[in-house]
Amino acid sequence: MPDPSSSPTPSAPEAAVDHAFGFETRMLHAGHVPDPQTGARAVPIYQTTSYVFDSADEAAHLFELKQYGNIYTRINNPTTAAFEERVASLENATGALATASGMAAEFTVMMTLLEPGDEVVASAHLYGGTRTMFVHTLRKMGVTVHFVDPTNLDAWQAALTPQTRALYGETIGNPQGSVLDISRVAAIADAHGVPLIIDNTFCTPYLCRPIDHGAHIVVHSATKFMGGHGTSIGGVIVDGGTFDFSDYPTIADPSPAYHDLAFAETFGEYGFLMKARAETLRDTGASISPFNAFLLLQGLETLSVRMERHVANAQAVAEYLEAHPQVDWVAYPGLPSSPYHALAEQYTPRGPGAIFSFGLSPGPDGPRATGKQFIEALELFSHLANVGDARSLVIHPASTTHQQLSAAELEESGVGPEMVRLSVGLETLDDLLWDLDRAFHAIRS
């Protein structure tokens, strides 16, 4: 049964049904028409836990998944459905499922796809929280994750086993700035008959649409650039509808949780998303609140405009840092000196996002002390554990976002004690450079 809340086609007058709407039009209109009862132009906040059924038969059909509709906001909600449809449209996808956070989106995907004894091959260049979940939480489920250098295609191939059920990577590795060769990794996934899952948080669908390059499932921390203002936590799973789940055990086999319903057979290209919604989201309760879905919709309405400014500022800041005598290296794929510059031009022609890291030249007390002094001297760059805000942010990954990793894991992830990560915001560029210059002066002194 198709899920109408996740259709990628924007609403339009009958005469314009065949018209291909542009990205900006879809980020403003997809998934919503003015409320027929009140005429409200903005998507309303349906702040309700549950919904009245028209009849006992309708209620039974909804719970049996024979009819699509609203049952309980833990499973679906009209405000959330508008957000899901809009993201699916922007990613050129079949549908989407919103969750309480980006981590919830990742976990929901894995819980839906995997069984004890399964394996995953993943990039070693991942957000620290993702890696911790893969190493420790998935291990409790009996799932093993093998980490590989994402730039080494032979390593991806060598790590595959008969138990491999998915490949996983980030469009731009956090915080190294490596760019994944999506189409070539997707070809490996296709040859092995497993889905490629991509975290596209840093790029958003405005800068890169992984499904267009062969990825099968995309996840986002919508908390970041999609929301854009640091006010709301949310995640979203996007299914391209391009992977054939008819032979994939957890989606194709009869489900005892639904009287042996076979999701792949019953729902076709919506099988994975329907199982993720009707089973995993239902049972884990990792649902997004309608109010947060509403706030994330507000962020989507300005996504392209904000990302253009983010990228322009990030490029200028990266060039400033690369030329600075107190900086040893800058890992931004927008720089011609980056080993990932060619891949960035291929996959992110509008620019490789606004998050990157650099290495401070260590002072007499060592790199950690130098980094601490530098960060504390900044005024406009806020020191906090987030990225993708309209405001510029800074953090020291080795002691914060990646501090739970061992020394060996930090080395494998490319996270050194001299590394500082920036998320470049929308401020006036001259003011950002002024703030950085003051911090460099402080560590010189």
173-182, 265-274, 294-303, 350-359: which range is least confident on average? 173-182
Residues contacting 361, CB < 8 A, separation 6+: 325, 326, 327, 328, 370, 418
How do residues 310-365 score in pLDDT, each as one tens digit? 999 999 999 999 999 999 999 999 999 999 999 999 999 999 999 999 999 988 88
Q: pLDDT confidence of 408, banded at 50, 70, 90?
A: confident
- Would the pLDDT of 108 be above 70? yes
Q: For residue 204, is it left (φ>0), alpha (ψ between -120 and 50) or beta?
A: left
Return the pLDDT at 7.
Answer: 43
Return the pLDDT at 405.
Answer: 61
Whole-angstrom distance, CA of residue 422 vs CA of residue 152: 26
Domains annotated on the chain, with CATH: 45-300 (3.40.640.10), 304-444 (3.90.1150.10)
Return the pLDDT at 5.
Answer: 43
Return the pLDDT at 17.
Answer: 65
Residues contacting 93, CB < 8 A, separation 6+: 8, 87, 211, 218, 238, 239, 240, 241
How do residues 218-266 score in pLDDT, each as one tens digit? 999 999 999 999 999 999 999 999 999 999 999 999 999 888 999 999 9
Name all contacts of 247-250 with Cβ < 8 Å and 24+ positions apart: 247/193, 248/113, 248/165, 248/195, 249/115, 250/112, 250/113, 250/114, 250/115, 250/275
- Would the pLDDT of 2 be above 50? no
Instruction: Say which residue, 282 or 66, is predicted with more confidence.
Output: 282
Two structure tokens written together for 344: 């960035």
Q: For the chain, how long is the longest CA-to-CA vector?
A: 76
List, edge to edge, every strand of the sheet that includes 144-148: 95-99, 235-239, 217-221, 196-199, 164-170, 119-123, 144-148
Two structure tokens written together for 229: 């203002």
Return the pLDDT at 366.
Answer: 82
Q: pLDDT confidence of 403, banded at 50, 70, 90?
A: low
What Cα–Cα distance (Å) separates residue 352 from each residue in 47, 121, 172, 338? Answer: 37, 24, 8, 12
Question: Per-residue pLDDT averaged across 378-406, rounded?
Answer: 84
Question: Per-residue pLDDT averaged across 398-414, rounded?
Answer: 65
Return the pLDDT at 95.
Answer: 98
Return the pLDDT at 4.
Answer: 41
Backbone angles phi, psi at 42, to 5 degrees: -75, 155
| Residue linked to tokens 């400014």 | 309
Q: pLDDT confidence of 13, banded at 50, 70, 90?
A: very low
Instruction: Say which residue, 175 or 86, is predicted with more confidence.
Output: 86
Beta-carbon-side half-sphere exposure of residue 101 (alpha carbons within 13 Å): 11
How do residues 180-202 score in pLDDT, each as one tens digit? 999 999 999 999 999 999 999 99
Residue 76 near residue 85, CB atoms below 8 Å: no
- Would the pLDDT of 159 be above 90? yes
Q: Is 51 helix (H, G, I), strand (E, B) or coil?
A: coil
Return the pLDDT at 412.
Answer: 65
DSSP output for 150-190: TT-HHHHHHH--TTEEEEEEESB-TTT--B--HHHHHHHHH
Whole-angstrom distance, CA of residue 4 vs CA of residue 2: 6
Question: Per-residue pLDDT averaged across 381-404, rounded?
Answer: 84
Question: What's the mean per-residue pLDDT of the chain?
Answer: 92
Q: Is 241 helix (H, G, I), strand (E, B) or coil?
A: coil
Whole-angstrom distance, CA of residue 24 vs CA of residue 86: 11
- Would the pLDDT of 12 be above 50? no
Return the pLDDT at 442.
Answer: 92
Whole-angstrom distance, CA of residue 204 vs CA of residue 228: 11
- Would the pLDDT of 10 be above 50? no
Q: List alpha helices for 91-152, DSSP H.
A: 102-113, 128-132, 138-140
Question: Per-residue pLDDT averaged across 292-311, rounded?
Answer: 98
Return the pLDDT at 248.
Answer: 97
